[in-house]
Structure 1
Amino acid sequence: MTLSYPGGPLTGHLRLTGSKSIANRALLIRALTPGGFEIDGLAAADDTVRLQQLLESDEEVLDCGPAGTTYRFLTGYLCRRRGTQILTGSARMKERPIGILVDALRSLGADIEYAEKEGYPPLRIGYSALDRSDRVSIAADTSSQYISSLLMLAPTLPTGLKLTLEGEIVSLPYIKMTLALMQHFGVHHHWEGQTIVINPQYYQARSFTVEADWSAASYYYSLAALAESADLKIDGLFAESLQGDAVVQQLYEEFGVTTTFTETGVRLQKAAGTPPPPLFEHNFVECPDIAQTLMGTCAGLGVQGLYSGLQTLFIKETDRVKAMKTELAKVGVSLYKIPPHMTEKTGVRYFAQEGRADFAGGTPRFATYHDHRMAMALAPLALLHPVEVEHPEVVNKSYPDFYRDLQTIGLTTKEA
């Protein structure tokens, strides 16, 4: 698909899709709630649709495809479902480690076996009371989805759960999101240092509406930053959000994009002639899903980038750092790891980005690596020059209306 923009101020009004992260947690909690409850605003994202179908399925083999959140949430949930299921996924899913979560569940008494390669999907999961212990420790810098899978299961366990997070906690907003949603449905918790304590209790059925997705909003912030001037209205976003990616509104202030909250969402504005910053520096440890978006913005504006907190990006749908390095190089922008000896005092792993997107070679053809965020993070560069996106359908994973919404604000799309 080729994306392009005729030029001029960027204006428009749209309503965003619901948050996949919130929707998936609400679906899992509903499955654990006696009697269930209604959920409004469920995203049409492939991951959410797939999770809903698998939770309702009585098939012996459950295929999560490329959906990592779905796989990890179901790994915990199936331990409490009667019978034995094979939980599998796509070829890429079988390359994504699951051993940390499996070890934690086994320590509680889970009946889980690796059906193929040790430490990786697929899994054979049988029912267990999970009453061997009420304590488990897990590395705090591991995927928050492992931690959330355990947390949502915790109140259903015979003696509850004391979950200790060892080391530096990454993706804390996603853990807080899970706990806040559990609280909404009547499940209480408390912290004892880095241990989350959840006693045995029941989820309480309550109707629920999914808020719009701030990570999806990040692409419009990028578009606004790259535009000569911008005035966009986006419905469904609110100031009081459970999502860590809501920080995007503060980050883009550095690029001259202001956010005003309205009764229905937000208004993004950028005045003509606003200069970009010479340097953008950020630690993405609490908002890794918007890192690629900022990389794309910095590339388009020629802003030097200095990034840290990217460790969880290496085990996503693809190695996102490596993929962005490859694709940005197509327009003359370099992304590279700063040598360890230059940061040995801090122990922090930094990546630097330099250069401004150069389209002298014609229309770049960006690969997407089966990764929805690759497509959406690079699409805003179309404001500067036509770009081609391979396998554009990958956006269906989280935001199937992405290209339709781009057309709403004036971009043009042409099928290859």
Structure 2
Amino acid sequence: MNKQQALLSFPKGTIINATIRLTGSKSESNRALIIAALSKGLIEVDNLSDAADTVTLNEILQRLAKDPSAASPIDVGHAGTAMRFLTAYLSTLDGTFELTGSKRMKERPIKLLVEALWTLGATISYLEENGYPPLQIKGGLKQATDAVQIRGDVSSQYLSALLMIGSSLEKGLSLQIIDDLTSEPYVRMTLKMLEEAGIKHTWTQNVIKIEHQDFSAGRLVVEPDWSAASYWYSIAALVPGAQIALPNLKEYSLQGDSRIQQLMLALGVKTTRTDDGVLLQSISTSEQHAAGLGAQEVQSSATAASSSNDPAASSGSNGTQNDLSTHTNLLEDESGIIAGEAPIMEIPASSSLHQDQVHRNQDDSIIDLKDCPDLAQTIIVCAAARGLNLKFTGLETLKIKETNRVKALQNELAKIGVELLEDNFVYTLNCSNLHFPERVNIKTYDDHRMAMAFAPLSIFIPQLEIEDMDVVEKSYPDFWKDLQTAGFEVVTK
């Protein structure tokens, strides 16, 4: 089947003053669906994402609720979160299930999660290659122990999958995290949503404990998606004078990707809280100076608690919140992401970029994306378009995502003369040969974030082709329509 392409252009002189209503958070939605299923009807969910991954997971869970014996085989397609969450969830159900996915899904490792579930007493076998889907899962987990260890530096979704079933296990769960914890905000999100559903936990040093306990009746309201918001930050950073309103988006959010606010502040985008959401505004270099901005090191790994891995401190969460519609300002004290000050550097006269918006340091800045790797493509492409030779760390998980995102970025950035160089887990942009051809074709590699991260380059490239425009259905189905709302021209080929 031929894939549809999007031909993008951005008319010269266009002023962006747009209101964009974003879908619900995919990350929150997928967790809310599993929590609701585990609660056996006690928890209801509002404002679910319309992302394909969430739709897929919801349909699977509805089939399982209706007749578990008829639900297998279960095909998650490209939905990696569904694969990981269902691997744990199905272990708690009665029945035998085959869990499979797309060709790429069968190349994405799941060994660490399966081994952790084996330790707990689950019966899971590999149907093809060891360590990879598809899986056969025999439910009715007979718990052997509550104690399990798992590496934290591979995928936070492994931890979230285990944590969500913890309260349903007869002996509860004592989860010890080995090595550094990647994407920590997503683990915090899981625990906070469990807390809002009545499930208490403690987090002491590197051990999270959840006792066997019942869910409380209530409602989980999913916030709009900060991951989707990140593409609008990129656009605001590249278009002088842009103003983009994002209704219902919470400045302080459970979502780790809300850190785009601080990361993009150093790239010239100011976030202002409004009565019904947030407003993005591109700001000039002089305005950045006036605000005291400048970042020798931009770190997204700052946390609210200086000595504890848990926002509620090591003593754990106390009490149960029955008003499930209101998220605590979990990241409220995590605004110190941009540290230090540095002088503004001038862009070379030959650059076609907007000089008054470029803000960078004499020493290359470092952006640590360990806690929000899904922002990597957006920020890297935006920085490349601005000609900023930034350094990035915390990208280790990108190679096991929908595609090898590091290689995909290297391939596509080369089309505008930019190199992404890798040296001992530090990735550096070399923009010395940056140029914008009249026409560029961007491959997506079946990766929704590749399509959306590169789309803003149409601001500089008169004819930008995005292969397989339908790939955005995975997380942001209205992306192309919303681009048109903001003044971009989108032609389907």
The TM-score, its normalising length taken from structure 1, stands at: 0.95
Give the alignment's Cα RMSD to 1 decimal: 1.2
Q: Residue 304 of structure 1: CA displacement? A: 0.8
Structure 2 residue 12 is matched with structure 1 residue 7: yes
What residue is the counterpart of 1:277 in the other structure? 360
Which whole-Å CA distance do the structure 2 matches of 1:12 and 1:280 have between them? 31
Instruction: Summarize the alignment of residues 235-254 of structure 1 with structure 2, pairs less than 5 Å apart.
Output: 235-254=247-266
Structure 2 residue 339 is matched with structure 1 residue 334: no
What residue is the counterpart of 2:472 in the other structure? 395
Which whole-Å CA distance do the structure 2 matches of 1:373 and 1:225 have between them? 18
What residue is the counterpart of 1:321 in the other structure? 406
Q: Structure 1 residue aligned with 2:43, among 37, 41, 44?
A: 37
Which whole-Å CA distance do the structure 1 matches of 2:422 and 2:41 have between them? 51
Q: Structure 1 residue aligned with 2:458, among 366, 382, 390?
A: 382
Which letter does structure 2 place at the counterpart of 1:161? L
Which whole-Å CA distance do the structure 2 matches of 1:323 and 1:242 have between them? 29
Which letter does structure 1 place at the counterpart of 2:103? A
What residue is the counterpart of 1:218 in the other structure? 230
Contact 1:34 1:205 in 2 (8 A): no
Question: SS of the residue aligned with 1:182?
Answer: helix
Question: SS of the residue aligned with 1:156?
Answer: coil
Structure 2 residue 199 is matched with structure 1 residue 156: no
Q: Residue 204 of structure 1: CA displacement? A: 1.5
Unaligned 5+ segments in structure 2 are: 1-5, 285-355
Instruction: Summarize the alignment of residues 352-371 of structure 1 with structure 2, pairs less than 5 Å apart.
Output: 352-355=428-431, 357-360=434-437, 362-371=438-447
Q: Residue 280 of structure 1: CA displacement? A: 4.1
Contact 1:226 1:384 in 2 (8 A): no
Contact 1:89 1:122 in 2 (8 A): yes
What residue is the counterpart of 1:344 in the other structure? none
What residue is the counterpart of 1:197 in the other structure? 209
String of CA shifts for 1:221-248, please: whole Å, max 9, x gaps.
Answer: 0001011221111112112200111110
Unaligned 5+ segments in structure 1 are: 341-348
Q: Residue 105 of structure 1: CA displacement? A: 0.2
Contact 1:140 1:170 in 2 (8 A): yes
Question: Does the C-alpha gap of structure 1 residues 302 and 221 become closer, same or farther in structure 2, counting only changes over 3 Å?
Answer: same
What residue is the counterpart of 1:303 in the other structure? 388
Q: Residue 250 of structure 1: CA displacement? A: 0.6
What residue is the counterpart of 2:54 in the other structure? 48
What residue is the counterpart of 1:209 in the other structure? 221
Question: SS of the residue aligned with 1:255?
Answer: coil
Question: SS of the residue aligned with 1:76?
Answer: helix
What residue is the counterpart of 1:124 in the other structure? 136
Q: Residue 192 of structure 1: CA displacement? A: 2.4
Which letter does structure 1 place at the counterpart of 2:35? I
Say how many residue pairs are matched.
406
What residue is the counterpart of 2:118 in the other structure? 106
Which letter does structure 1 place at the counterpart of 2:444? T
Question: SS of the residue aligned with 1:43?
Answer: coil
Which whole-Å CA distance do the structure 1 matches of 2:9 and 2:475 have between them? 22
**Please, which moves more after superposition, 142-151 or 202-211?**
202-211
Q: Residue 399 of structure 1: CA displacement? A: 0.4
Which whole-Å CA distance do the structure 2 matches of 1:11 and 1:205 have between them? 42
Q: Residue 276 of structure 1: CA displacement? A: 3.3
Which whole-Å CA distance do the structure 2 matches of 1:291 and 1:407 have between them? 24
Question: SS of the residue aligned with 2:439?
Answer: coil
Which whole-Å CA distance do the structure 2 matches of 1:127 and 1:256 have between them? 51
Instruction: Summarize the alignment of residues 22-33 of structure 1 with structure 2, pairs less than 5 Å apart.
Output: 22-33=28-39
String of CA shifts for 1:251-306, please: whole Å, max 9, x gaps.
Answer: 11111111101121111111453333254421100010001001110111111120
The TM-score, its normalising length taken from structure 2, stands at: 0.81
Which whole-Å CA distance do the structure 1 matches of 2:434 and 2:43 have between them? 48
Contact 1:4 1:383 in 2 (8 A): yes
Q: Residue 357 of structure 1: CA displacement? A: 4.1
**Please, which moves more after superposition, 371-380 or 274-283?**
274-283
Which letter does structure 2 place at the counterpart of 1:308? T
Q: Residue 36 of structure 1: CA displacement? A: 3.7
Which whole-Å CA distance do the structure 2 matches of 1:161 and 1:363 have between them? 55
Counting aligned pairs with the same residue, the percent is: 46
Which whole-Å CA distance do the structure 2 matches of 1:308 and 1:354 have between them? 15
String of CA shifts for 1:361-410, please: whole Å, max 9, x gaps.
Answer: x3110000010000011011111123110001100000000011111111
Q: Residue 129 of structure 1: CA displacement? A: 3.0
Give the 4+ runs in structure 1 shifted more than 4 A.
Answer: none
Which whole-Å CA distance do the structure 1 matches of 2:102 and 2:477 have between them? 20
Which letter does structure 1 place at the counterpart of 2:411? T
Which letter does structure 1 place at the counterpart of 2:57? L
What residue is the counterpart of 1:408 in the other structure? 485
Contact 2:172 2:210 in 1 (8 A): yes
Q: Residue 208 of structure 1: CA displacement? A: 1.9
Contact 2:10 2:488 in 1 (8 A): yes
Contact 1:109 1:128 in 2 (8 A): no
Which whole-Å CA distance do the structure 2 matches of 1:277 and 1:50 have between them? 42
Which whole-Å CA distance do the structure 1 matches of 2:491 and 2:240 have between them? 23
Q: Structure 1 residue aligned with 2:379, among 265, 286, 294?
A: 294
Which letter does structure 2 place at the counterpart of 1:321? V
Contact 1:79 1:110 in 2 (8 A): yes
Which letter does structure 1 place at the counterpart of 2:249? L
Contact 1:280 1:303 in 2 (8 A): no
Q: Residue 82 of structure 1: CA displacement? A: 1.1
Question: SS of the residue aligned with 1:38?
Answer: strand
**Please, which moves more after superposition, 362-371 or 21-30?**
362-371
